[in-house]
Copies of this chain bind each other. A is one copy, B any other.
C-alpha cells in the first residue's frame, strides 16, 4: 500500500484508529476484531504479519508476539467509506487468548 492509499483511510478522529476485521483466508471465518493505527498498518505491510494497536496496553502489538500465534496477512481490504479494514490471514494456532480458534463463541439468540 502506498502512502497515498494509507492517507485515504478515515482513522477515528479521537484515537487515530480504525477497526480491523480479521478473517481466515481458507474458511472465511471471522477470527477477531482489533484496531490499527497508521503505524500498525505500515508494519503489517512491511512485514506481512498482523500488527494492531492495543487499546488496553496503549502500544503497538504484533499478534502472537507472546503466544507465538502469529498471523500471516495476504490481503488488506478497505470498505466504501474507508473506515474499516479486513486483514485476510493464515492464523498460526488459535486466534483467541482463551485458546479457541476464534474470539466469537457465544450465540446470543
Q: Which residues of A are in contact with B by a Cβ distance under 8 Å? A: 1, 5-6, 19, 21, 23, 27-30, 32-33, 45, 73-81, 84-86, 96-98, 100, 103-109
Copy number in the complex reads 2
Q: Which residues of B contact A45 (CB under 8 A)?
A: 109
Q: Which residues of B contact A80 (CB under 8 A)?
A: 96-98, 100, 103, 105
The 9 closest A-B pairs by CB, nearest first: A28-B28, A79-B103, A1-B108, A77-B104, A33-B84, A76-B108, A80-B103, A79-B104, A78-B106
Q: Which residues of B contact A6 (CB under 8 A)?
A: 108
Q: Which residues of B contact A105 (CB under 8 A)?
A: 77, 79-80
Q: Which residues of B contact A77 (CB under 8 A)?
A: 104-108
A86 CA / B23 CA spacing, docked (Å): 12
A75 CA / B104 CA spacing, docked (Å): 12
Asked if A76 meets B109 with Cβ closer than 8 Å, knowing A28-B27, A86-B104, A104-B86, the reply is: yes
